[in-house]
């Protein structure tokens, strides 16, 4: 299927936004620029729209890129991560509890809508579970879209204020396309093809992302391949991902989008504040920099936060594993606890 004109326009705007943010020296420029440009275009009711078939192949590329960050050293490091993963479970309980209270008492959302909007898990899973429990699907979907949008947008200044780390200075060095040999390209494409099939066969969550990541990780763990993805491909992945996030606000009334953004700004600020507190507390017992801990606990999407970690060269394997655990815990807890919520709660 050919690319719809509405998405082609969105992608063009996203690329221009990314180029502009890169030119002025913004951190995470390609993702933030694309997300901001398309988000503004959607709010202004310009003819932009997401394309459901654009994300899966890009997720597969991102998964293969993330897998390249897992090596023999990862297993040794992972043995020391268990206090952080236990802390992650505590963080989810505290952060979700605070957000539910905020969304119920301040934003005046109904019980199931507030519950599933507060859960920092996957958008699709929370929308489906929320609909089963009588929640407002549109509000839940927009709340999660707004959360990811605001986390990616607000993370660089929060990181600078809380940890002193400069996202611009930490940006990965530019790796040219010529750095990949023919065998590297073959292994990259093979990891994407085999991983995508494996992800579907095993019915993994986020199969297009996690499947290629597992195959790529195995290639790097075993020493079969050491391919590293060029910076241009990482930039392209950021543009597509940022564009799809921004386009989630398309086709919805400006007033409703702005209301959701305002509500989500409050809940996102609470989530990030709790993440900062837990990051500093756990840094004392886990040998991971505070910046890496903050990325691992930030309530953004798995693909978005992992790509941020990759772009900034900050504890990529730890961040990826933490967000995979977060999504699993949230889906499990949401399914078990949501039964107490009803549309009249």
**Residues 263-275, mean pLDDT to the nearest whole number:** 94
| Total domains present in the chain | 1
pLDDT at 149 over 80: yes
pLDDT for 91 equals 94
Would you say residue 20 lies in a domain? Answer: yes
Would you say residue 215 lies in a domain? Answer: yes
Q: Each residue of 7-20: pLDDT tens digit?
A: 999 999 999 999 99
Q: Each residue of 239-251: pLDDT tens digit?
A: 998 999 999 999 8
Would you say residue 345 lies in a domain? Answer: no
The domain that holds 133 is classified in CATH as 1.20.1530
**Tokens in use for 118?**
């507060």
Nearest-angstrom CA–CA distance, 264 and 262:
5
Nearest-angstrom CA–CA distance, 232 and 66:
15
Would you say residue 96 lies in a domain? Answer: yes
Nearest-angstrom CA–CA distance, 32 and 266:
20
pTM: 0.85
**Residues 89-99, mean pLDDT to the nearest whole number:** 93
pLDDT for 76 equals 72
pLDDT at 341 over 80: no
pLDDT for 1 equals 55
Domain that holds residue 234: 5-50+57-340
Q: Each residue of 189-224: pLDDT tens digit?
A: 999 999 999 999 998 878 898 999 999 999 998 889
């Amino acid at each position: 299927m050919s690319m719809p004109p509405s998405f082609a326009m969105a992608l063009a705007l996203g690329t221009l936004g990314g180029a502009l943010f890169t030119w002025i020296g913004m951190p995470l420029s390609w993702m933030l620029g694309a997300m901001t440009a398309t988000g503004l275009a959607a709010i202004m009711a310009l003819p932009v729209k997401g394309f459901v078939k654009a994300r899966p192949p890009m997720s597969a590329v991102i998964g293969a890129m993330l897998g390249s960050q897992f090596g023999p050293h990862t297993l040794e490091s992972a043995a020391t991560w268990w206090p952080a993963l236990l802390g992650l479970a505590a963080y989810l309980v505290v952060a979700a509890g605070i957000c539910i209270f905020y969304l119920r008492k301040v934003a005046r959302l109904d019980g199931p809508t507030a519950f599933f909007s507060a859960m920092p898990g996957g958008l699709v899973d929370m929308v489906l579970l929320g609909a089963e429990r009588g929640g407002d699907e549109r509000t839940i979907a927009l709340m999660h879209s707004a959360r990811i949008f605001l986390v990616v947008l607000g993370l660089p200044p929060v990181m600078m204020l809380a940890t002193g780390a400069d996202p611009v200075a930490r940006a990965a060095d530019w790796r040219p396309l010529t750095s990949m040999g023919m065998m590297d390209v073959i292994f990259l494409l093979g990891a994407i093809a085999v991983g995508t099939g494996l992800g579907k066969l095993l019915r993994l969550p986020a199969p297009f992302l996690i499947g290629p990541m597992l195959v790529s990780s195995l290639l790097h763990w075993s020493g079969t391949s050491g391919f590293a993805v060029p910076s241009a491909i990482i930039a392209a992945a950021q543009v597509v991902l940022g564009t799809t996030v921004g386009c989630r606000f398309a086709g919805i009334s400006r007033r409703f989008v702005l209301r959701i953004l305002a509500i989500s700004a409050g809940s996102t600020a609470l989530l990030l504040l709790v993440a900062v507190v837990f990051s500093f507390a756990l840094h004392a017992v886990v040998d991971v920099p505070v910046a890496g801990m903050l990325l691992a606990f930030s309530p953004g999407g798995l693909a978005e936060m992992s790509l941020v970690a990759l772009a900034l060269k900050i504890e990529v394997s730890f961040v990826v594993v933490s967000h995979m655990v977060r999504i699993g815990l949230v889906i499990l807890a949401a399914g078990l606890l949501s039964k107490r919520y009803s549309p009249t709660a």
